[in-house]
Amino acid sequence: MNLKVPNRRKKELNNRILLVDDEPRILDELGKVLSPAERNNAELNELGNRLFNNSKMNRRKAASYNVCCYRQGDEAVDKVQESMEKNEPFAVAFIDIRMPPGPDGVSTAEEIRKLDPNIQIVMMTGFSDFDISEISHRIPPEDKLLYMQKPIHSQEIRQFALALTAKWQSDYLLDLQNQKLIENNEYLKEHDRLKSEFVMTVSHELRTPLTIFKNILSNAMAGVMGKIPPKLQQNLEMADEAISRLTSIIDDFLDVSKLEVGKMKVHPEALCIQTVIKNLIEMIRFITDTKNIQLDLVLPKKDLFINADHEKITRVVNNIIENATKFVPENTGKIVMRVEDKGERLRISIEDNGPGIHGDDKEKVFDRFVQVEKHIGPGKHGTGLGLAICRDLIQLHSGRIWIEDNPGGGAIFRILLPKCDPQTVENETELLAESSL
C-alpha cells in the first residue's frame, strides 16, 4: 500500500477527528468532550481553579479538536474522500460498529482505510459478539486500529484522542522522512547511472584512437616504415607499453561501468575447472619462471564442472595470480593453486608466501579504487579496480571471494563457486536455443 503523505508543516498538529455513530446523543456527548464550547471551557477552568487552589498547572484549557460528526457510514466515507481531495486528512476516526439502516462500521472503516491509509481508526461498540481478528484482517494495519467498549468514559475518549493525534503526527513525520530518503535514493541511483553511462561512452570513444596509435607503433617497431635507430626503438617500446597500460585502465573503467548498470554480458557454459586452470597456468608460467617463483598446482582427480563464462572466470584467477607474483619474494617466492570439492560447490585457493594482507585490509582490497599495493608494500600501482571487478564477476556467477591469512605467512585468496552437471547444462542450452527459434 502506497502511503500518501499530506502537505503539512512539521510543527502543525493535525487535530481533525471524525465521529460516526447512529445515535445522536452519543455524537453530541463525544462532540462536547472533544470540542468543548468556549462557555464550557470557562466553566471547567473555573471549577478546576476552585478545586485545585487556583494552580497554574490546572489553568490550561482542555484540548480542543476539529470534530466532524456523522450518523451514517456512507456520509462519513464521502467526507473522508472530500478531505483527502483537499489535502486535509483526518487524524482519527471513531466509528460505531452497528449503524442501521446503512452500512456497518467495519464496512465503513474498510472504505475509509482505502481512501486514507494513514488515519487512526477506533471501533466502538456496546456489544461483544464481534470477531476482533476478522476486523483486524479487514482493516489493516493493526497498529492503526483500536477498539473501545461502550459506554465510553469522557476521560477515555480524551486520552484516545490525545494519544492517537500525537501518533498520527509521529507517523506522518516518519513517512515524510522515509519519502525524502526514497527520493534522495532515487536521485543518487539516477546520478550513478548517468555517471556510469558517461564513463562507458568516454571509454568507447577513447579505445578507437588508442587502437590506431597501437597499430602505428607496432608497424613502426616492425620496420614497416623503414629502419629506425636504437634510441627511437626504445622510445617506441616505452610508448607502446604506456598505450597498453592506458588501454587496460580504460577496459577496467568500462567493465566497472557495465557491472554498475547491469550491462555486463555473461555467456555461461559447462566448464571443467581442472582444464581451465591447467590452460591458464601454462599461459602465465613464463612470468613465474622469469622471477624464479615456484608455482604448484593441486587438483582433484575427478573432473569438477561449473556453469560459467570462460573468459571471466579465467580473468579472475589470472588477476589474483598476477597480484601474487608482484609481492612474493623473487627466487624464494611460492604460489600454490588448489582446487577442492566442497559438496555442491568447489573451492579455488591461490596461496602465496608474500607479506600478506592484514586486518580490515582484507575487505578493503575488494573496494573500488583501493590498491592492494598501498596496503602491503611498494609495487606497480594500478587503478585499484582489479579485485573489485573480480568480486563482481564472481558474484555474477553466484559465488563468493574472500581472503584468509596463510598459516605459513602470506595470503590465501579463496573462491567458492557452485558446481554443475554438464549434461544438464547442455540440455538446458539446447532447450533455450530451440525456444528462441
Question: Could you tell me the CA-to-CA distances from 374 to 327, 340, 377 in Å, in that order?
Answer: 12, 31, 6
Q: What is the pLDDT of residue 436?
A: 56
Average pLDDT over residues 416-421: 94
How many residues are listed for the chain in this entry? 437
Q: Rounded distance, CA 342 to CA 354, Å? A: 27
Domain ranges of the chain: 16-152, 183-261, 269-424
**Looking at the predicted structure, is the pLDDT value of residue 377 above 70?**
no
Determine the pLDDT at residue 417: 96
Residue 287's pLDDT is: 87
pLDDT at 202 over 60: yes
The model's confidence at residue 10, banded by pLDDT at 50, 70 and 90, is very low
Question: Tens digit of pLDDT for each residue in 378-389?
Answer: 445 556 788 989
Condensed to tens digits (0 to 9), the pLDDT of residues 48-99 reads 455 455 544 444 455 689 999 999 999 999 999 999 999 999 999 999 999 9
pLDDT for residue 279 is more than 70:
yes
Helix axis angle for 105-115 and 73-85, nearest 10°, is 10
In one letter, which amino acid is 363? Answer: E
| Averaged pLDDT, 185-189 | 87
Q: What is the pLDDT of residue 276?
A: 95
- pLDDT average, residue stretch 389-416: 93
Percent of the chain with pLDDT over 90: 44
Q: Is a pLDDT exceeding 80 seen at residue 431?
A: no
pLDDT of residue 273 exceeding 50: yes
**Class of domain 183-261 as given by CATH:** mainly alpha
**What pLDDT band is residue 437 in, cutting at 50, 70 and 90?**
low
Q: What confidence category does residue 249 fall into, taking pLDDT thresholds of 50, 70 and 90?
A: confident
Q: Is the pLDDT of residue 282 over 50?
A: yes
Mean pLDDT of the chain: 84
pLDDT of residue 382: 58
* Confidence (pLDDT) at 113: 95
Candidate from 43-47, 252-256, 316-320 with smallest mean pLDDT: 43-47
Average pLDDT value for residue range 215-237:
88
pLDDT at 425 over 90: no
Q: What is the pLDDT of residue 295?
A: 93
Question: What does the pLDDT average to over 173-189?
Answer: 89
b/e per residue 144-175 (b: at least 16 CB within 10 A): bbbebeeebeeeebeebbeebbeebbebbeeb
What pLDDT, on the 0 to 100 scale, is given for residue 383?
64
Predicted confidence (pLDDT) per residue in 105-161, tens digit:
999 999 999 999 999 999 998 877 678 888 889 999 999 999 988 888 888 899 999
Architecture in CATH of 16-152: 3-Layer(aba) Sandwich (3.40)
Query: What is the spatial distance between Cα 23 and Cα 72, in angstroms, rounded to a whole number?
Result: 10
* Residue 324 CA: distances (Å) to CA of 127, 297, 376, 401: 78, 15, 12, 16
- Fold observed for domain 269-424: Heat Shock Protein 90 (3.30.565)
Task: Summarize the confidence of residues 16-20 as an average pLDDT.
Answer: 96
Which pLDDT score, from 0 to 100, does residue 57 have? Answer: 43
Per-residue pLDDT band for 12 (boundaries 50, 70, 90) equals low
User: What was the pLDDT predicted at 6?
Assistant: 54
| Average pLDDT of the segment spanning 240-257 | 83
Same fold, 183-261 and 269-424: no
The region of weakest confidence among 28-32, 49-53, 85-89, 194-198 is: 49-53
